[in-house]
Structure formats: C-alpha cells, structure tokens
Amino acid sequence: MTDTPLKLFNSLTRSLEVFEPVHPGEARVYSCGPTVYNYQHIGNMRAYVFADTLGRTLQWKGYKLTHVVNITDVGHLTSDADEGEDKMERMAAREGKSAWDIAKFYQADFEQDLARLNVQPKQHPRATEYVEAMIAWGKSIADKHCYELESGLYFDVSTVADYGRLARAVTEDGEGRIESVEGKRNAADFAIWRKTPAGETRQMEWDSPWGRGAPGWHLECSVMGEALLGFPFDIHTGGIDHREIHHPNEIAQNQAYCCTNGLDDPKNSGAKIWMHNNFLVERSGKMSKSSGEFLRLQLLIDKGYHPLAYRLMCLQAHYRSELEFSWEGLGAALTRLKRMVRAIDKLRGVDAKDATKEALAIVGYDMKFKFHLALSDDLNTPVALTQLERALALKKVSLPAQRALIEEMDSVLGLKLFDLRIEDFRIRPADALIEEREVLAALARRKEARAAKDFAASDAIRDELTAQGVEVMDGDPLGWEWKLG
C-alpha cells in the first residue's frame, strides 16, 4: 500500500509528477519562510501547514526528511520587485527598536504559531547568517550574469535560458513589473546587491565588492538552499505569489551559479519540483499586514477558537485551491475537530502496540487504502480527512488496531487527536467576563438545586451565567456542558 507512488504537482512543468528522490531514501525540501518584520497572518500560516503536510507525507512514505524554512531578516523590500523600502528597517524605525530586535521578536512569535499549529520542527536559518556566502555567490556569477549600477549589482535575466518559465511570463517586457531602477537592461532584472545610498546608513549593512549595502532578497533562498540541501534538491515550496517573481529569480540565480542552461530538465532550476500553495483570502481584506489590524492566529485564540481548528480548516481544502476564510467556516472546522476528539474517547486507554498482526491487516483496510490513494494524489487532504472520519466511526473492531490506524493517519494530518482533551477547546475569549472556576462553581450549585428539585434556583443560576456570556448546554450531544460565547 505504501508503494502507491506519490504524485505531486510541479509548477515548473504544470503537471503531476511521480516523486523520485534525488538521494535514495531521502527527501530534501526548502520552503520559503517569513519576513520577520511583523506578526504572520493566518494566510502566511497556511503556507507552512501545507509545507508541513508535505513533509509529514514524505516521512510517512518512508523518506528521511530534511526540511528548511528560512527566516528573512534582511533584504525584503515592500514590493517583491526592486521597489520601496526594506521591510525590516521600516518597521525598526516605526517601533523605535533595532532591526535585529525586531527580527528576534517576530521570529519567536512565528515559531510559537508553528508550534500551536503542530507544525513539526524544521531548520530555520536566518538570512543575516549567510551574508558572506551571498557575497561569495554574487562574486561567482558577477562577470557573466550581472552588471553594476549606481544603486548596486543587478542580474541580467537575458543571460540564462528560459527565464520566467515558472511564471509563464513574457521576458521581454517583464510582465507586471515597473521599471523603477534607471539603467536596468531588462525590466525583469533584479538586485543581487543593493548599495546603501550615499549619505544614508542602514542598521543592517555589510561591505562587499559592490559597495557597502545589503543583499537582494532573492539571493538568500538560492544560497541557503544550496548550502543546506545541495543542488539539485527535491522540492521547493512557497505561496503562489512566489511563482511570479521570487522563484523565477531564484531559479535564474541557480542556473547562473551551476553553469547549466535550460529548464527542459527541471533539475537545472536547483530543485526537481516546485510546489505552490494557493492563497487564503478574506473578503474584507483585513488579513493584509499593511492595513493595520489583521488576522493572526492569536486573534483566533482570543476569540475562543483552538488553533488546531485552523489547521483542520486548511486541510479541508486542497492546497492548490483558494480558501476563503470566514468565522462561520472556522466554527464549523472547530465543531468537526471536537467530534473527532469525542470519537477518540473510547481509544484513550488503549495501546496500539497490543494490536495483533491479523487485526492490523484487516481493520479499516478500505479506508487505509483510500487514505493512501488520496495523499498520494498530490496531497488530497480533504479526501484523506473523510477516511480518517470513517476510521473513527468503526465499531466492533479490535480497539488496538483501530487506534493504530488512527494514529497513523493523524501522524500525517497532524491534528494531535490523542493529545487533545475536551477541556482544551474551552479557550477563554480575551473579552470574557467570567473566570472558568466561577463557571464551574455556579454549575455545581445549579446541579445541587436541580437535585433538590429547586428549579427556580437552577433557572436563576442559568440566567446569571447567560448574562455573563456563558451558554449552558444541557443535553449537548458532544457532551459540552457550557461554552463562552
């Protein structure tokens, strides 16, 4: 069953391809990471839930996984093309802190969000740790592929074959780009090194053969990918926006560095497969970091939603489909997750190791088979989830074997079903008026009143709780006695 070949959609060839590792038995994956100038919004986090699901699937298929998610702490301008200010420096100036402190703070916050979403630990190299390597890389390609302008060193995209194939963009006029730097040979040319303008100083700057300044944003991913995974590595991931500018530029740098040409063989791009997750969208546009308040995981928690309900929400859509965020949708995912955790109850004291070989072979065979097929078909998590639910609903089967089956499925989906308890879902909204222990005390009094058939007192306690935002849920099928609304 595990032999079902894993097929993944390669954006470079726009087709499904069977995963064949570069190094037998291994999977080496690079995922573009966050720019740590601000909190991550939940759209960004969708990119890491996707990358994590990919990594978990590869591990479950038996590959030894090396997974890098870089931290961009220098060089990313407010536009992905060479325009605007450096995001880090701008935020540092706005908050009156050093750019280094800003990076440290938001990286820690990002890592906290990853843990809350049960994203497995990955390598998180920082761009600032690789500046020397970036300069060395720039030196090695400068003669053949770059030219210097007053503002820095630029990459000439006409020097590599098939520039922009990933984006399916027209090279000539650099579709969708504005020529903002005077003297660029092609509109799509981009900075390898940006010189600090005369009379200015940056908080983050280094000496280089092209003057004091900072690396261009695209360079870091080429350099860290090569240093940590070696070219070609197996899979490169990022959000769909990166398919247009950032990844074509990374690919051009990689081609220049490896002295290879042409993308008919995807390996020449530096990675065999390029994968892109589609966007999480929000109609009001509040997710955008630039528009002030935005949707971050902490906001979901403050409103009383468990973060893993958001992971489930992501898994409910195929990663290549757009996913629209709504509070109703998140609420539905939360209810679904609660039902799953409820269904786990009967398996809590059970040990999967007690399952007999015979039971393992037959219990849930059909759903296990379909689960494999779904994930092998370009990570079809929505279908995989329905198979998990079928497995949870199995009755009159060997409990250790059922537990083994569900543990295996959850090792890929990462919902932590066996760790979650009903109480974990009772997250106190930040604006709640009442403490949990007060609710429990009031409910205990109400129970006594009901036992004594004093229904007037019991109703009065219920009304009091309602006034404080607590919904008392007698007879709730999921067994919840109350919730904060």
Cα–Cα distance measured from residue 130 to residue 215, given in angstroms and rounded to the nearest whole number: 10
Q: Give the 3-state secondary structure of 203-255.
A: CCCECCCCCCEEECHHHHHHHHHHHHHCCCEEEEEEEHHHHCCHHHHHHHHHH
Q: Show the site string, 272-291: x = touches ligand AMP by CB under 6 A, - = not.
A: -----x-xx------x----
CB 40 to ligand AMP: min, Å: 7
Cα–Cα distance measured from residue 100 to residue 21, given in angstroms and rounded to the nearest whole number: 37
Q: Is 241 in the site for ligand AMP (CB under 6 A)?
A: yes
Residues 45-104 that bind ligand AMP (CB under 6 A): 46-47
Q: Which of 27, 32, 391, 484 binds Zn ion (CB under 5 A)?
A: 32
Task: Choose one: 39-47, 187-195, 203-211, 444-452; the region binding ligand AMP (CB under 6 A).
Answer: 39-47
- Report what 35 binds from ligand AMP, Zn ion, none; CB cut-off 5-8 Å by kind: ligand AMP
Could you please report the per-residue DSSP string of 462-477?
Answer: HHHHHHTTEEE-TT-T
CB 364 to ligand AMP: min, Å: 33
Residues 216-275 that bind Zn ion (CB under 5 A): 221
Q: Is 242 in the site for ligand AMP (CB under 6 A)?
A: yes
Nearest Cα neighbor of 75 from 40, 105, 32 is 32
Could you tell me if 446 and 463 are in contact, meaning their C-beta atoms sit under 8 angstroms apart?
no
CB 240 to Zn ion: min, Å: 13
Q: Is 167 in the site for ligand AMP (CB under 6 A)?
A: no
- Residue 437: helix, strand or coil by DSSP? helix
List phi, psi (to 5°) of 14: 50, 45
Q: Is 238 in the site for ligand AMP (CB under 6 A)?
A: yes
Cα–Cα distance measured from residue 478 to residue 425, given in angstroms and rounded to the nearest whole number: 12
Residue 85 in tokens: 């200010």
Q: Which is nearer to ligand AMP, 287 or 484 (CB)?
A: 287
Q: Which is nearer to ligand AMP, 113 or 410 (CB)?
A: 113
Q: Is 35 in the site for ligand AMP (CB under 6 A)?
A: yes
Q: Which is nearer to Zn ion, 12 or 442 (CB)?
A: 12
What is the residue whose two structure tokens read 């930040």?
430
List phi, psi (to 5°) of 289: -70, -25
Q: Which residue ranges make up the site for ligand AMP (CB under 6 A)? A: 32, 34-35, 43-44, 46-47, 238-239, 241-242, 277, 279-280, 287
